[in-house]
């Protein structure tokens, strides 16, 4: 009798625990995520790629004059700074910039094919707009005074302009850099494989908010040791984790899932590598930059490692730091410029 009773109790406890697991998981994983549903974002977007493709190549100057009315703050920046066409505001049919650069660009069959391909992949930008809007809701929650920029979609002829910012007013997104890993011409223009992996639509929002963060907090490399560089990158990743909480960590970092798994499994070895090699306080660019910029793999580590492993390690230190500093805001975190103080306060000791 007692045995049957205990068996019944055990079964009840088992099913109770199973039933509670989803609630426990949701609580553990999401209770620090603020509710931003009441923050209204009116995202303003324009498709420069479509408008530029629609220009009559027999009357380029007239088409540009009309575009200037729609893109008064961005058109010259796009034509001259991004594309290097050298118009400098001279919108006359015989101008050198139009005759020698812009008109041949718009008439080129490969560029026309690129316009068509972008249109096929992005007949609209609703998915990207949704991700951006949600990100801006979180951004406004944490930084209420930050303005939401206008979003302008463009193409650069595969010149690798994924995202650009113009002051704080405009966010430019190059749709031709998000056509998917299988798009054949990425390899034709010699974009490396580790970069092609990130030519997917899922990277639009992470790249956009990374650009916004770097506009707020530029990455400073001059006379900085590796620890400082890693902490700067770690702050950036912490920012992205708060602004894009639903985006997988591998996407925010630009890693494959296998690379991220390798980092987690070898965290102590990675940290000890930098300590043993005396790299944490090394300021030599040729020795330290490769650990905080994208690359195929981390120098001196197994091929399973990501090239940008210093960014991941910096993020772990920042997470440990914020876990210790319970009342520290993101503004306070970003204002703390002493990397050594952050490392010490984090009590970071991976095992």
236 located within any domain? yes
Neighbours of 32 (CB within 10 A): 8
Length of the chain: 351
Residue 12, classified by CB atoms within 10 Å of its CB into exposed (0-12), middle (13-18) or buried (19+), is: exposed
334 located within any domain? yes
Per-residue pLDDT at 32: 76
Among 62, 78, 109, which residue terminates a domain?
Answer: 109
Considering Cα of 328, then 334, then 337, then 341, what sign does the dihedral take? positive
Q: What's the start-to-end Cα distance of the chain, in Å?
A: 48
Per-residue pLDDT at 244: 98
Q: Nearest-5° angle of CA 91, CA 96, CA 101?
A: 90
65 located within any domain? yes
Per-residue pLDDT at 171: 98
Q: What's the total number of domains in the chain?
A: 2
Per-residue pLDDT at 351: 85
265 located within any domain? yes
* Residue 169 structure tokens: 């007013």
99 located within any domain? yes
Chain centroid to Cα 183, Å, comes to 20
306 located within any domain? yes
Per-residue pLDDT at 28: 39
Q: 139 and 87 in contact (C-beta within 8 Å)?
A: no
SS3 (DSSP) at 45? strand
Tell me the average confidence (pLDDT) per consecutive run of 10 residues in the chain, 351 residues long: 42 43 39 89 97 96 95 97 96 94 96 98 98 98 96 97 95 98 96 96 98 96 98 98 97 97 98 98 97 96 97 98 94 97 97 85
193 located within any domain? no
Give the domain extent around 237. 226-346
72 located within any domain? yes
């Amino acid at each position: 009798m007692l045995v049957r009773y205990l068996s019944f109790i055990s079964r009840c406890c088992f099913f109770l625990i199973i039933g509670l697991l989803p609630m426990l998981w949701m609580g553990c994983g999401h209770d620090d995520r603020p509710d931003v549903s009441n923050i209204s974002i009116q995202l303003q977007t324009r498709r420069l790629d479509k408008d530029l493709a629609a220009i009559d190549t027999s009357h380029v100057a007239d088409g540009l004059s009309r575009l200037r009315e729609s893109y008064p703050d961005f058109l010259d920046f796009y034509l001259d700074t991004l594309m290097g066409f050298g118009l400098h505001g001279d919108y006359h049919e015989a101008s050198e910039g139009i005759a020698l650069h812009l008109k041949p660009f718009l008439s080129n069959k490969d560029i026309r094919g690129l316009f068509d391909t972008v249109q096929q992949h992005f007949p609209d930008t609703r998915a990207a707009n949704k991700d951006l809007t949600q990100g801006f809701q979180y951004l406004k929650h944490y930084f209420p005074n930050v303005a939401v920029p206008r979003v302008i979609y463009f193409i650069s002829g595969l010149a690798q302009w994924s995202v650009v910012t113009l002051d704080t007013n405009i966010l430019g997104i190059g749709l031709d850099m998000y056509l998917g890993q299988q798009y054949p011409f990425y390899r034709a223009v010699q974009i490396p494989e580790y970069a092609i992996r990130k030519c997917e639509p899922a990277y639009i929002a992470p790249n956009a908010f990374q650009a916004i963060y770097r506009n707020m907090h530029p990455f400073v490399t001059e006379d900085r040791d590796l620890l400082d560089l890693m902490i700067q990158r770690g702050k950036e990743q912490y920012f992205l984790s708060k602004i894009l909480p639903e985006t997988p960590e591998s996407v925010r970092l630009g890693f494959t899932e296998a690379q991220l798994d390798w980092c987690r499994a070898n965290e102590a070895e990675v940290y000890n590598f930098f300590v043993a090699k005396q790299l944490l306080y090394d300021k030599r660019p040729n020795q330290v930059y490769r650990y905080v910029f994208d690359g195929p793999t981390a120098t001196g580590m197994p091929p399973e490692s990501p090239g940008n492993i210093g960014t991941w390690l910096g993020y772990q230190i920042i997470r440990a730091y914020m876990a210790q500093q319970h009342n520290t805001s993101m503004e306070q975190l970003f204002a703390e410029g002493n990397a050594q103080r952050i490392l010490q306060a984090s009590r970071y000791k991976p095992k």
